């Protein structure tokens, strides 16, 4: 497997930052680094930056590692505009 590095724009609208292919057999470690200048929130397609559907917070200049399986999709959103880019690093399949 090759190492994959992507940059994803995070805005005030939830958008996908990574989607794992359907056919993989093992979970993949994914690292998300927040370089937007403000806190971002990650979760499923219904996340918001506040209230009952708030996502999991990642502070600016912090990273989070997740283990994702086949067909998993992670969405990100931020509360303020303009937003910025985050870095996503994982082993490609």
| Confidence (pLDDT) at 81 | 76
State residue 76's pLDDT score.
Answer: 95
Separation between Cα atoms, residue 40 and residue 27, nearest integer Å: 24
Q: How far is 18 from 27, CA to CA, in rounded Å?
A: 14
- pLDDT for 24 equals 85
Which residues of the chain carry a pLDDT beneath 50?
none
Centre a 10 Å sphere on the Cβ of residue 29 and count the other Cβ atoms it contains.
Answer: 11
Question: What is the domain class of 3-91 according to CATH?
Answer: mainly beta
What is the chain's length?
A: 93
The pLDDT, as a whole number, for residue 1 is 64
pLDDT of residue 93: 62
The three-state (H, E, C) secondary structure of 3-64, written as one string: EEEEEEEECCCCEEEEECCCCCCCCEEEEEEECCCCCEEEECCCCECCHHHECEEECCCCEE
pLDDT of 25: 85
The confidence score (pLDDT) of residue 2 equals 83
Every domain of the chain and the residues it spans: 3-91
């Amino acid at each position: 497997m090759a190492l994959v590095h992507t940059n994803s724009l995070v805005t005030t609208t939830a958008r996908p930052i990574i989607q794992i292919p359907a056919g993989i057999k093992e979970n993949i470690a994914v690292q998300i680094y927040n370089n937007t200048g403000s806190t971002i929130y990650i979760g499923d397609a219904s996340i918001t930056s506040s209230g009952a559907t708030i996502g999991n917070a990642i502070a600016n200049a912090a990273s989070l590692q997740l283990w994702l399986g086949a067909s998993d999709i992670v969405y990100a959103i931020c509360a303020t505009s303009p937003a910025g880019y985050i870095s996503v690093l994982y082993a490609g399949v």
